[in-house]
């Protein structure tokens, strides 16, 4: 299949991830925590989809399931038409060439006993059959592409700053020339000034190499400048999914509106016009979810139907999908 823009590279359909938990002591009945529940989305070639949400929403778990780093119990994950969830053995090893991960913490995701060049070499050794000379050529090129000096290849991780360590992580992710790179909160552990450098690097690499990103974040301010489309998750489900401009200019789900109201802005007019929406209460017990919408107990506009029936993720035109009973035909929510 040719690498053409605006065609799906990654297609996730009804993905589910659950974890067994025990309730009521050692002999308690086993129950399941549904960390990802009936999640579907696509990522087009050369574009970036962000999955955003607060801690515990399931966004990182969904990304780990896509990369086969955690097990999914149901659903489908297709990369360039190939189903990934059923692969085992050599087929899975070959598929791992195509999906790579940039982890959140550059301090714990690098082996402190390996030199920088060996960290970048590792996926080439385990996932490819390239010769030593070919591996070295790739490593040299990648160090230049991510902005590291040749003499730094022999250094250990503790000799780098946080931003430099993340550059090593980016080089490692690029080593096998993957089709999809999953960025799991790649700048959240970095200083603000360094965050901008890493985000600009990721955008430049995407433009130069035609990369496709699945970008996981809790920071809407970050994804506003990185992503083509955004999916908002809450308690294991996608509650809103649309393109970046539509989400920021016309959010429809009450939860999305509350998240956006908390994004800081340097624009005085925007600050004056933005009403801060507070989300009261706590999320429901993920092992014993109540009926209806999972956001109903915290939504100031919830009605009886919200507490009785879980809203489906419905397209409201222009591929603006929302899971909310309060969104009517005029595309306005009641909050």
Give pLDDT tens digits for 254-291. 999 999 987 766 556 665 666 777 788 888 888 888 89
Fold of the domain built from segment(s) 8-98+178-322: Rossmann fold (3.40.50)
Q: What's the pLDDT at 206?
A: 96
Number of Cβ atoms within 10 Å of the Cβ of 247: 27
State residue 219's pLDDT score.
Answer: 87
pLDDT at 150 over 70: yes
Whether the CB-CB separation of 194 and 206 falls below 8 Å is answered with no
Tens of pLDDT, residues 291-315: 999 999 999 889 999 999 999 999 9
Nearest of 41, 52, 37 to residue 236 by alpha carbon: 37
Residues 6+ apart with CB under 8 A from 137: none
Burial 31-51 (b: 16+ CB within 10 A, else e): eebbbbbbbbbbbbbbbbbbb
Asked if residue 326 has pLDDT above 60, the reply is yes
When pLDDT is averaged across residues 155-165 and rounded to a whole number, the result is 95
Q: What is the pLDDT of residue 300?
A: 85
| pLDDT for residue 267 | 59
pLDDT band per the 50, 70, 90 thresholds, residue 130: very high
- 35 vs 329, residue with greater confidence: 35
pLDDT in tens, 168-193: 999 999 999 999 999 999 998 888 88
Segment 38-87, tens digit of pLDDT: 999 999 999 999 999 988 899 999 999 999 999 999 999 999 999 999 99
Residues 6+ apart with CB under 8 A from 212: 9, 10, 43, 44, 45, 46, 47, 48, 179, 180, 181, 206
Residue 1 has pLDDT above 60, yes or no: no
What is the pLDDT of the chain when averaged over all its residues? Answer: 90
Q: Which of 302, 310, 304 is nearest to 235 (CA)?
A: 310
């Amino acid at each position: 299949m040719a690498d053409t823009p605006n065609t799906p590279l990654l297609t996730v359909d009804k993905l589910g991830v659950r974890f067994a938990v025990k309730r009521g002591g050692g002999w308690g009945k086993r129950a399941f925590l549904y960390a990802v529940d009936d999640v579907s989305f696509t990522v087009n070639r050369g574009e970036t989809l962000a999955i955003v949400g607060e801690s515990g929403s399931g966004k990182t778990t969904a990304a780990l399931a896509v990369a086969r780093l955690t097990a999914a119990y149901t659903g489908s994950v297709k990369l360039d038409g190939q189903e990934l969830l059923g692969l085992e053995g050599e087929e899975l090893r070959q598929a791992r060439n195509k999906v790579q991960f940039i982890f959140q913490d550059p301090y714990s995701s690098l082996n402190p006993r390996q030199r920088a060049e060996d960290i970048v070499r590792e996926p080439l050794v385990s996932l490819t059959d390239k010769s030593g000379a070919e591996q070295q050529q790739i490593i040299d090129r990648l160090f230049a592409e991510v902005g590291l000096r040749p003499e730094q290849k022999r250094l250990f991780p503790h000799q780098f700053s946080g931003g430099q360590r993340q550059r090593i992580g980016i080089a490692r992710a690029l080593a096998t020339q993957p089709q999809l790179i999953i960025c799991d909160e790649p700048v959240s552990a970095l200083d603000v000034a360094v965050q901008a450098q890493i985000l600009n690097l990721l955008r430049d690499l995407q433009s130069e190499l035609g990369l496709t990103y699945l970008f996981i974040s809790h920071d809407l301010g970050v994804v506003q400048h990185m992503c083509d489309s955004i999916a908002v998750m809450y308690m294991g489900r996608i509650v809103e999914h649309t393109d970046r401009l539509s989400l920021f200019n016309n959010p429809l789900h009450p939860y999305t509106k509350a998240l956006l109201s908390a994004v800081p802005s340097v624009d005085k007019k925007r600050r004056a016009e933005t009403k801060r929406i507070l989300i009261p209460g706590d999320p429901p017990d993920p092992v014993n979810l109540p009926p209806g919408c999972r956001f109903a107990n915290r939504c100031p506009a919830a009605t009886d139907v919200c507490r009785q029936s879980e809203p489906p993720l419905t397209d409201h035109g222009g591929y603006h999908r929302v899971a909310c009973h309060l969104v009517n035909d005029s595309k306005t929510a009641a909050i």
